[in-house]
Amino acid sequence: MFCSEIYFIALQIILLYTVALKAVNKRSVDLSASHALISDVRLSTEVVPTGYEIHLHPIMEKDSFTGTIKINISWTQAIKKISLHAHYDLNLNERTLTLLKLNKDSVEEAIPILRGDRMLRKTIYIIYLKSTVQECSQCILKIDFDGNIWQSTEGLFKGSYTDGINNEEKKHYLATSMNPNNARRLFPCFDEPGFKVPFTVSIARPKTYTTLFNTPLVRTESLNSSSESSYVIDYFETTPPMSTFTFGFVISQLNKFKSEQEKLTDMGLQLEISLWARHEVLAEIKEIYAKLNEIYPLLIDYFNMSLPLKKIDVLAIPELGSLRPADCWGLLMFKERDLLNKPSYYFLTHELAYQWLGSWITPDWWNVSHINSALVGFLSTTVTLKLDNDQEYKAKYPMTLLYSLYYEFSKRYPHSRITGLKQQMASQKTEMILRMLNYTLSESTFQAAIRKFVATYQYKAYVSNDLWDTITNQAILDGMLTSEYSVAEIATSWIAKDRLPMITVDTIWDKNNVKISQKLYLRERPHDVPEQHLMLWWIPIVMISQDNLNFSLTKPKIWMKEVREILVPNSWTENKFIIVNPQEIGPFPVNYDRKNWNLLLSFLLTDEGRSRIPTYTRAKLLHDAWNLAYAGDLNFATALNITLFMKYERNPIVWRPFFIMIDHIGRHIEMSDVHKKFDMYVQAILTPLYEELRNFDSNTWQSELKSLAHRSLSHAGYKPFVEEARQNYKLWIESANPDMDIILPNNYICIVFKWGTIEEWEFGLERVITFPKNRTRSERTYLLKTLAGCPVQPYKIIRLLNVTILEGNGNFTDNDILLIFNMLSGGSVGYETLYNFLYDNWSDVRRKFENKTNLWDSLITEATGSFKTSKGYEQVKTLYNQHKGEFGSATHIIESSLKNIKEEVKWSDENLPVIDVWLDNFLSNNNRTT
């Protein structure tokens, strides 16, 4: 139905929450992709730090720094060496290296040092001693060091920006980025999150600058050296115990935002939140200041504990580069544009929450980071939802996040082995497990457990079972679980698998019982995941019956304890539907027998039904039905029947899965009469919706829904919208200099390339060929993607392939050709035409790509891997047989394609006739009623 360009737009909708709201998770103790790159070699614990005293002297004009550190260390075992972290770029002065042992009455005794060595290929520095130091000894290790200030945002780095009304003045700043393990670039230390000790710090700076550190300033003194009279030294309060990655400071000429309310009074403590920015933008951050002061008390209320800090400085730093929001304890650094771009309440809540969970309470090691990130994400959401002003966030959470989880974990190979995506998805899945526990154990029990957790582990580091055990104990205390249950066991059954389950609910009509079974949820075929029969989860069975539609009852009727099947007695009344997992309490889809689906549909077709079944549950029923049918677990007629209530639905949360799935299913059946009927079905469903919303132009949910409906109708060939797009496109054709600018919205271009004439398409091709070098390349990329991915006429695609491959037009690079291949795989016209082009021009194409394995492999993948019918299978098999032995590096690709197409053929043979009959009936009934 849709071209592949719209497919990618749909995927962007699926991942919208992930990209827009969860990107903030990639930071601090949530290392995402980077955590896998951290060495597993950990420091020994025979020697541990108990405190740091650090003096730093950055020399801005020389891009270097010097420093001295005194580390209080304690011996837990008798040993004659000290291992700590120091980066290769950090120079340690071994001549001044000293170790003093503290005896009774604080008498210092020098301990002879033999030498210091760096561990091979590790950022670990080992100090060898002449004699063994006994257990329980207390010593002071003094090290002088120096290093360079870098431009990259690792360790201590330097940035610059232009200031003033006319950007006439260039200013510099210094800032730190210690996460996850960059403190060792600035000073020698025990650079692991589990070591939490106080820091006493002094930092030199130019007189005209301000230094902001984790803690407040105590005093400022001049440097003794007259040659450096332009520098002063700032002395700061000793920090509470903290990890090295939360250490941070900024030396800048930013200005402080002045507010009438400077301090928050909470629980007898004073905490000042200060905003710092360029003078020109101070007026713009007033709203942010108000939001921060609104959020912070809510976090205190949730945790029942304020931060042990006197201040939090929030900085809007211009041109901060690629640095993520860096939340050192008491010091939050943002890119200026991120902070000023009207951040959501969630965005700010998330940053503040890390002050509790991350800085104050810290994972013991990076393998717990995804749990910490998930906990911060969930609690940030909980607090954000208590505010009334973030409607956009409320409209997206949690459904769009769940959709991305369902999509990714139902693949045969989740994440495509991309480490960063794997870590991010693991964090998001864990957040949904926490949400599930919050529902099933009750919000009050969950909050009480988190409060105990914070009270117990303040200033400490924790492992994952510390969190799970705290929740278990509170749930047992409150009577929400019995002693046979363990939250650690429940959570691990979900977290340990890169998968999700689905359950099937079967009613046993003569006994009022319900049989519930679980299995691995797979959308992508073939369903040949190894050992899937061994995968079982702890699943809460929350059940709502039609005779008691109380959706506030979220305690499970029963827990499935990692068993394949259970019987729930006396849980159903004849001719009354049941709903399992309402409100997406747990991250798993639910299938029902046909009678229960039909009872649900009958209820949803009534005004009472749509008003009594909440929004999230209506969206879930629709989303589950479509996805289960797509996966082959539900008859497609039933799934299509469920969409009939959408004629009366107006909530965008419920509509989102509809837009996503008409794209998925549309692409799958993009052929002959079935495809045309499906387009007519889409138009019949969406036209009334659009007509009702056509006058909404303001920034409201109605306008967003209108935009989605307009886009879907356009790509289903709705004539008024196609003509509208072509009229706007004509203005571009007739413009005096069409190469200088695209004078129509992007959303019109694909419509014209799909439904317009060859002349209109050729105009677009010419714009790509003659694209000016001084224009943004992303505009050319978009044009090329739509030229390839949108047309439904083979002759347009053949023309593009001739120009780029056979004619070898020099305006197209190898990357352009790869992009074309990729876009053509998004629809049946594209990949069938690509197949025919390869079949007809085998010798020429093989010769051109014989030394370009990446292009050849991509061509075979996209030309043979997307067929879904018996005819397509025979086509690919014919190509394989005719050129056996000639595929080279792509031999395994076409053999895999043949295997996969067999599975798709089964799906098509089973579902296309069902869809065809259903569409005939729908269109017949619709014609009679219009």
The DSSP code sequence of 296-329 is: HHHHHHHHT---S-SEEEEEEETT-TTPPPEEET
Q: pLDDT tens digits, residue range 798-823?
A: 999 999 999 999 999 999 999 999 99
pLDDT, position 326: 62
- Residues across the chain: 930
Q: Which long-range contacts (CB under 8 A, 24 or more apart) does 124-128 make?
A: 124/41, 124/43, 124/83, 124/84, 124/85, 124/86, 125/83, 125/84, 125/85, 125/86, 125/92, 125/188, 126/81, 126/82, 126/83, 127/81, 127/82, 127/83, 127/84, 127/97, 127/99, 128/80, 128/81
Take residue 5 and report the two structure tokens written for it.
Answer: 């360009």
Question: In the structure, what pLDDT confidence band is assigned to residue 416 with cuts at 50, 70 and 90?
Answer: low
pLDDT, position 325: 60
* Closest alpha carbon to 638 in 855, 866, 914: 914
pLDDT, position 526: 83
Q: pLDDT tens digits, residue range 98-144?
A: 999 998 777 789 999 999 999 988 999 999 999 999 999 999 999 99
Residue 2 has pLDDT above 50, yes or no: no
Residue 21 has pLDDT above 70, yes or no: no
Distance, in Å, from the CA atom of 351 to the CA atom of 360, rounded to the nearest integer, reads: 13
351 belongs to the catalytic site: yes
Q: Omega before 526 cis (within 30°)? A: yes
pLDDT, position 903: 86
- Other C-beta atoms lying within 10 Å of the C-beta of residue 691: 11
Distance, in Å, from the CA atom of 488 to the CA atom of 511, rounded to the nearest integer, reads: 35
Residue 458 has pLDDT above 80, yes or no: yes
Take residue 688 and report the two structure tokens written for it.
Answer: 């009334």
Q: Omega before 569 cis (within 30°)? A: no
State mean pLDDT over 692-719. 82
Residue 283 has pLDDT above 90, yes or no: no
Average pLDDT score, the chain: 89
Residues 801, 787 contacting (CB under 8 angstroms):
no
State mean pLDDT over 54-80. 96
Of 36-45, 514-523, 711-720, where does mean pLDDT reach its minimum?
36-45
Binding residues for Zn(2+): 350
- Tell me the percentage of the chain whose pLDDT exceeds 70: 90
Catalytic residue among 192, 336, 351, 670: 351
**Torsion of the alpha carbons at 423, 428, 433 and 439, rounded to the nearest 10:** 170
Binding residues: 350
pLDDT, position 904: 87
Q: pLDDT tens digits, residue range 488-499?
A: 999 999 999 999
